[in-house]
Amino acid sequence: MRILVTGGCGFIGSAVVRRLIDQTTHEVLNVDALTYAASIKATEAAAQSGRYRLEVANITDAASMERIFSEFSPDAVMHLAAESHVDRSIDGPGTFVSTNIVGTYTLLEAARKWWARQDAERRKAFRFHHISTDEVFGALQPGDPPFTERTPYDPRSPYSASKASSDHLVRAWYHTYGLPTFVTNTTNNYGPWHFPEKLIPLVTINAIEGRELPVYGTGQNVRDWLFVEDHAEALVRAVECGQPGETYAIGARQPRTNMQVVETICTILDELHPDPAGPHARLIRHVTDRPGHDFRYEIDPTHAEQALGWHARHDFEHGIRRTVQWYLDNRDWWDSIRAARYGGERLGQAGEKMGTAA
């Protein structure tokens, strides 16, 4: 297959690109605007392959998207390009509306125009795979069953509202125009190459440096944590066998509170990177909760597991240990991001420039 991946230099997108190049024979065109969270280094190994190419372009640019479809002639699209940091969406929602809503609309229209010109066989085989989040479903309370593909939408932040809007557009293009689209919704991902503003890398990096570990509120908010390589495997399976009009909820059955996550990171670092000043947990600081902080996300992945023949391979303890070790081994990467984005300021010490928890 010839697969057009949007946002392939991002955290999840780069994991998808690496898997496509390492584990399949598919050809990949990575379309990425190279915004702040993109990392060329995350796709360096894939770039050694003759089956991979990067095109620097913004999905809101209609002319560029139409040209790319015409030149590459994809068999499938994996649409991952998105603004995804909730704190940033609260401070500046306009960018999220532009990228997540207008960008998805622009990509859908470019795909539809190209698809309509193909013969019947190619139109039937084509797939537009939209990658989304479980945050579109709102928040779960204690005792509520996990989200499924049938959970009603109830977004609570500018980020989740923009992703909900893009999901609706993707389904509308299927029902209205017949474009063979489908959607996957996933829960919180973690793993190597995660941008340092997010909870797990932020806490890991601060702990390595003996800095405060900021946790929103009481730290009892719950997330279902999915190792990014497991998610990439599910997404590749989905683009290979996913059916038009379908939805697949992808999760790991690994719920943890934010405090459990932070304490686990501290325990691992006490072993792998001891601090002479004492246990890393001494650095935990509770900070003012963010507006509209959803209490709990958790997915029931039964349908996706059965339909895609997939299940998450990593339990949280194994995945988080691999992740912490990766940040210990790759200081040059996150140090360079800090220098470029935050003027050399330490993570967690940059006030409104930095987020805190998931």
Q: Is there a catalytic annotation at residue 134?
A: yes
Q: What angle do CA 246, 228, 240 make, to 5 degrees?
A: 35
| Nearest Cα residue to 303 out of 150, 111, 106 | 150
- SS3 labels along 267-316: HHHHHHCCCCCCCHHHHEEEECCCCCCCCECCECCHHHHHHHCCCCCCCH
Distance between CA 73 and CA 68 in Å, rounded? 8
Phi, psi for residue 45 in degrees, rounded to 5: -65, -40
Distance between CA 233 and CA 322 in Å, rounded? 17
CB contact burial 220-259 (16+ within 10 A = b; e otherwise): ebbbbbbbbbbbbbbbbbbbeebeeebbbbbbbbbbbbbb
The residue annotated as part of the active site, out of 32, 87, 105, 159, is 159
Task: Work out whether the CA dihedral 52, 106, 358, 333 comes out positive or negative.
Answer: positive
Token digits of residue 37: 């969270």
Distance between CA 214 and CA 110 in Å, rounded? 43
Phi, psi for residue 252 in degrees, rounded to 5: -115, -5
Distance between CA 38 and CA 33 in Å, rounded? 8
Q: Is there a catalytic annotation at residue 135?
A: yes
Provide the Cα torsion 223, 228, 309, 238; round to 10°.
100
The residue annotated as part of the active site, out of 83, 134, 294, 305, is 134
CB contact at 8 A, 117 and 170: no
DSSP code, position 227 = E
Distance between CA 80 and CA 78 in Å, rounded? 6
Phi, psi for residue 29 in degrees, rounded to 5: -110, 115
The residue annotated as part of the active site, out of 83, 87, 135, 263, is 135
Distance between CA 163 and CA 186 in Å, rounded? 12
Catalytic residue annotation = 134-135, 159
